[in-house]
Amino acid sequence: MSSSIHFTHAITRRPAPSITAGLRAVDTGTPDLALMQAHHDAYVATLRETGATVVELSALDAYPDSVFVEDTALCLPEGAVIMRPGAPSRLGEAAEMAPHLRALYGQVVGITGQESFIEGGDILVTEREILVGRSARTNAAGIAELTALVAPWGHTVREVHTPPGVLHFKTDCSLLDVDTILSTKRLSASGCFAGYTVIDVADGEEAAANTIRFNDLVLLPEGFPRTRDAIAAAGFSVREIGNSECAKLDGGMSCLSLRFTPRA
82 found inside a domain: yes
For the whole model, what pTM was predicted? 0.96
Buried b (16+ CB within 10 A) or exposed e, 3-35: ebbebebbbbbbbbebbbebebeeeeeebebee
Query: Is 180 a member of any domain?
Result: yes
Catalytic residue among 173, 192, 246, 255: 255
Average pLDDT over residues 183-204: 97
What Rg do the C-alpha atoms of the chain give, in angstroms?
A: 17
Report the pLDDT value the prediction gives residue 232, as an integer from 0 to 100.
98
Share of the chain above pLDDT 90, in %: 92
DSSP notation for 160-208: EEPPTT-S-GGGSEEEEETTEEEE-HHHHTTTTTTTSEEEEPPTT-GGG
Statement: residue 224 has pLDDT above 70: yes
pLDDT at res. 188: 97
How far apart are the C-alpha atoms of 250 and 78, rounded to whole Å?
Answer: 30
Angle among Cα 61, 62, 64 to the nearest 5 degrees reads 70
* pLDDT tens column, 115-164: 999 999 999 999 999 999 999 999 999 999 999 999 999 999 999 999 99
- The answer as to whether 2 is a domain residue is no
- Per-residue confidence (pLDDT) for residue 1, from 0 to 100: 66
Is the pLDDT at 21 greater than 90? The verdict is: no
How many domains are contained in the chain? 1
Residue 129 lies in a domain: yes
Look at residue 136 and tell me if it is in a domain: yes
Which amino acid, 180?
T
Mean pLDDT of 39-44: 98
Of 168, 173, 192, 246, catalytic:
168
In a domain, residue 3? The reply is no
204-233 exposure pattern, b = at least 16 Cβ within 10 A, e = fewer? ebbbbbbbbbbbebbbbbeebeebbebbee
**1 located within any domain:** no
Give pLDDT tens digits for 51-104: 999 999 999 999 999 999 999 999 999 999 999 999 999 999 999 999 999 999
Question: Is residue 246 flagged as an active site residue?
Answer: no
**Domain span at 57:** 9-260
75 classed as catalytic: no
Q: What is the CATH number of the domain that holds 46?
A: 3.75.10.10
pLDDT of residue 20: 85
Q: How are beta strands 73-75 and 80-82 bridged, if at all?
A: antiparallel
Q: Is residue 4 part of a domain?
A: no
